[in-house]
Amino acid sequence: MFEPWGILVILIVCPLLGGLPLIAWITYALKRKQLSQVGTGNISVSAAFYHGGKIVGILAVLSEAFKGVAAVLLSRIFFPDGSSWELVALIALVIGRYWIGRGAGTTNVVWGFVVHDPLVAIFVSFFAGIAFTILQSRKVVKFGVLLLFPLFVALLHLSDIPRILAAVALAGLMGWIYTKIPDDMKLPAQEAQTESQAMLEFLRGERTMVSLDEELNAAIVGEKAATLSQIKRWGYPVPKGWVLAPIDDPEGLTEFLQPSELSPLVVRSSAIGEDSEHASAAGQYETILNVTSPEALQSAIAQVQASYNHPSAIQYRRDRGLNDTAMAVLIQQQVQSVYSGVAFSRDPITQQGDAIVIEALPGSPTQVVSGKVTPEQYRAFVVETENSYSVQLEGEGRVPQSLIKQVAYLAYRLEKRYHGTPQDIEWSYDGQTLWVLQSRPIATLLPIWTRKIAAEVIPGVIHPLTWSINRPLTCGVWGEFFTLVLGDRALGLDFAKTATLHYSRAYFNASLLGDIFLRMGLPPESLEFLTRGAKLSKPSLQSTWENLPGLGKLLKRELNLEKDFKEDYHKRFIPGLSQLTQEDIDSLEPPKLLARIDFILELLRHGTYYSILAPLSAALRQAIFRVKDRQIDHSVTPEVAALRSLSAIATDAKQVLVEFEPQQVFEQLKQTPEGEKILQAFNELLQDYGYLSEVGTDISVPTWRENPQMIQQMFVQLMQGNEPQAGAKDAINSIFAGKRKRSFVQRRVDIKGRVTEVYSRLLAELRWSFVALEKIWLESGLLKKTGDIFFLNFDEVRRLIVDEDSSLIEQLDELVEFRRSQFVQDSEIIQIPLLVYGHTPPHPLAPSELYSDQILQGIGASHGQAEGRVKVLRNLQEIPDIDRDTILVVPYTDSGWAPLLLRAGGLIAEAGGRLSHGAIVAREYGIPAVMDVRGATWILQDGQRVRIDGSRGIVELSNDLRPE
């Protein structure tokens, strides 16, 4: 039993020993620094040297050496000297070091191996030393050692298979860990403790002459140089160049380059943090042209380095809250410019649209960026198809238009390379080649906000009260999901910034979401996906592996969704809704109404979780099991169920009233017992579904119960013979029999329907609570007009009730009137930009010209084709007559729009996707639908004839604008 006990001791003690944070204790005791909160967050020997200095570093080496030696000696208590169990002990130690102690365990393994097999340790050290001296590459040596020591173990112990396997496993584990944790040696050496800098510079293995042909680290050589090296490796023309890191000695490079009159150089700044998304630092640092001698090169390098400490540069960094770092220097062959200039891939002034702005002049680019000469200005539009592209140009001048078109396409491609982030590009043309001299994000156009998702989640113009409630609910739950997957990598992310209002419409922060997606290991096209619907490539195996623990937690929640929701449905939601419906809301005073609102919000916090997870789960399962949209039954969804009931009641009513006057239907039904039953059924439907509204997520919009006119009008129109296509529902439902894989999807869709019902009921109760509160305030004179309460935010409502805030009360009329005026002004903006750049967007531009090919592209959401005349409907204030020749064009499709859709011949929506309300209803009744057609409500005109293809997502336009 001795050996089994030994195995148990090794597998328990060694991981705990590895996780013992001796380095962290030593560093904190001597330097009062928490290693987990500085630098890379590693608790390692190199971090101890970097942040603590030599003494701390030496003590760290001794502490980790002790662990490695102790693990080997521990195994010798139970097993013979040199056994494979000594390597197993080191493996267990390294696992503990990584999972608990947040380090790689290199020092543990080195000293443990010295004790385990001194001969192999000597051979490996000898070859590693030679390799590092020759190659000066720590990365090559580090991974080379992982190949060498199992090889030497195999050569020296050929018959000891367990020992060889253990050595291979240890090497593999170390290699895997090296790919997972950041490298402290990549931190700028000049920021390390002074006594450690020389050693770190040597161990980094960085060569003095670093060229733009290499993959460069922006943290060491600055964003400008790192970006140019990336662009060069992508294949774009970038002048040959070299980089001096802040710690490098320029002497070797100046001797190597030998500039002359025939081969001049340009010396440019590449400060750490310059040309980043946070600050461009444009014009803050020196650029020296026409450097033609080694002496001039040395002087130019010194000038550029010194410019980092110019008072204006220091003030610039302070004004933007940037840390002082250091100056790298970029030296390039100077282009003999025939024409040059700058290009913005997005207009930084209008901050919208697809125009590329170009400024150009004959000669050097410094004329343009200096501002001393007025350049020629051009605007260009790039239209790219699968196999070709064209450039439309506005503006004329001395610079050849063919070159300006080249520049425009270069700007367009570089923005795409950076996944939609607008770029500020400096370029030069020498008569043969168009050179890229610089590319950086346009800081004033960040972040990028998108309506692509937000228009479906909370469409239309939004009141302050609605937003003050919806934003924290939605952003909070999304933050919970992201944190679940990311774990510690979510630190520093502010999920409250996920969404905002522009033009009183909701926008999501595509830049922040793109960053989150990248941290989650999703492909780098995430930003383009959010802003332009680009296709995503598959995530790498490495990123998937890194996020496996978080994805596992998310998967567990998805698998438990049905069980969790049923439990909350019976224990939380049903009792809560029952309590709310039984309460006499009109008899409650403001404090009681506030308590009721807080109670509803607590239920909504739980409901929001399901309202996000249930649709995601349904969509994910549908994609995995490849179940087609038309094979799914949405009868549990409230608006679908309501329409079916309304249609059935209308059919019965037609049998009672064979002939009727549309304006007198309800009066005529009252005249017979059968008609009374029809009216009773209609009122019961209104009672059951009265919580629905035109915009289900907006509590400022009246519910069907408050405003039944639209449903009454729909009922009459259904009686007039405009029924849904017969048999569509039966054909859909018949597909489900016996299909197990579809049942996996259907169950999630049914849960989604139940969640929608609960969430909509809670929002309706919330609205009615605020309406009751507003009624009290109108009677007391605190508010002046119906609807005023929706121009306050929830915090202000609470202050008026709890604190009776006198200062707020004094300015209340002015505040409400200002917000109402802004709301009305924003409501009059018809065409809202899909993308907004920066925090303060200007007023939207007038719509651009229609595409010449007369085809609009969207998302095919319901199969089939239809041709008819357009009816543009921007709101539900007036319900038009609709028949099968009507192609409805709407900004979005929330639950309140559903009754309209079942009578139309086809649907076009500016926002939405395959899972939106309109798409679901359209599929339910076999109506072709195309969603996400940008600008549809202003491109298309009433009476215009169009043909839509709901399979391909295409709208074909006609110039026939004659009314019917």
pLDDT band at 808 (very low <50, low <70, confident <90, very high): very high
Question: Picking from 337-346, 611-620, 771-780, which range would have the lowest pLDDT averaged per residue?
Answer: 611-620
Check if the beta carbon of residue 45 is closer than 8 Å to that of residue 199: no
- H or E segment and range at residue 481: helix 464-486
pLDDT in tens, 524-578: 666 666 666 666 666 666 666 777 788 888 889 999 999 999 999 999 999 999 9
pLDDT in tens, 425-436: 999 999 999 999
Check if the beta carbon of residue 578 is closer than 8 Å to that of residue 627: no
pLDDT band at 732 (very low <50, low <70, confident <90, very high): very low
Amino acid identity for residue 4 in this structure: P
Q: Is the pLDDT of residue 111 over 90?
A: no
How far apart are alpha carbons 915 and 623 in whole angstroms? 12
- In terms of DSSP bridges, do strands 356-362 and 210-211 run parallel, antiparallel, or are they unpaired? unpaired
Q: What is the mean pLDDT of the chain?
A: 84
Amino acid identity for residue 596 in this structure: R
For residue 362, report the phi and psi dihedrals to the nearest 5 degrees: -65, 140
Q: DSSP alpha helices (H): ranges in 561-633?
A: 561-568, 574-582, 590-625
Highest mean pLDDT among 31-45, 131-145, 461-475: 461-475
Check if the beta carbon of residue 704 is closer than 8 Å to that of residue 692: yes
How far apart are alpha carbons 174 and 155 in whole angstroms? 21
Question: Picking from 292-296, 421-425, 442-446, 495-499, which range would have the lowest pLDDT averaged per residue?
Answer: 442-446
For residue 403, give every residue at least 6 positions away whose Cβ sits within 8 Å of its Cβ, in sequence order, or none: 339, 360, 429, 434
> Which of 677, 711, 671 has the alpha carbon at shortest distance from 693?
711
Mean pLDDT of all residues in 301-310: 92
Mean pLDDT of all residues in 876-889: 80
Residue 603 CA: distances (Å) to CA of 549, 591, 598, 763:
29, 19, 9, 10
Report the pLDDT value the prediction gives residue 206, as an integer from 0 to 100: 46
Report the pLDDT value the prediction gives residue 207, as an integer from 0 to 100: 47
Report the pLDDT value the prediction gives residue 354, as an integer from 0 to 100: 85
pLDDT in tens, 157-214: 888 899 999 989 988 888 888 887 776 666 655 555 655 555 555 455 444 578 898 8
Angle at 306 between CA 305 and CA 307, to 5 degrees: 90
- H or E segment and range at residue 713: helix 709-719
- In terms of DSSP bridges, do strands 327-333 and 376-384 run parallel, antiparallel, or are they unpaired? unpaired
Distance of CA 739 to the CA centre of its chain: 36
How far apart are alpha carbons 153 and 164 in whole angstroms? 6
Q: What is the percent of the chain with per-residue pLDDT over 70, rounded to a whole number? A: 85
Amino acid identity for residue 498 in this structure: T
- H or E segment and range at residue 753: helix 740-780
Q: Is the pLDDT of residue 83 over 70?
A: yes
pLDDT in tens, 572-629: 999 999 999 999 999 999 999 999 999 999 999 999 999 989 988 888 888 788 887 7
Amino acid identity for residue 822 in this structure: Q
Mean pLDDT of all residues in 877-891: 81
Q: 954 pairs with which residues across the strands?
A: 857, 949
Report the pLDDT value the prediction gives residue 1, as an integer from 0 to 100: 41
Token reading at 639: 């608006």
Using the CB atoms, write b or e for 703-740: b if 16+ within 10 Å. bbbebbebbbbbbbbbbbebbbeeebbeebeeeeeeee
Query: Tokens 């003030």 belong to which residue?
Result: 315
- H or E segment and range at residue 71: helix 54-78
Q: What is the percent of the chain with per-residue pLDDT over 90, rounded to a whole number? A: 40
Mean pLDDT of all residues in 642-660: 90
Token reading at 112: 């443990």
pLDDT in tens, 225-251: 999 999 999 999 999 999 998 878 888
Distance of CA 792 to the CA centre of its chain: 30
pLDDT band at 131 (very low <50, low <70, confident <90, very high): low
- H or E segment and range at residue 401: helix 401-417
Report the pLDDT value the prediction gives residue 855, as an integer from 0 to 100: 83
pLDDT in tens, 825-860: 999 887 788 888 888 888 886 654 434 357 888 888
Question: Picking from 7-11, 176-180, 479-483, 504-508, which range would have the lowest pLDDT averaged per residue?
Answer: 176-180
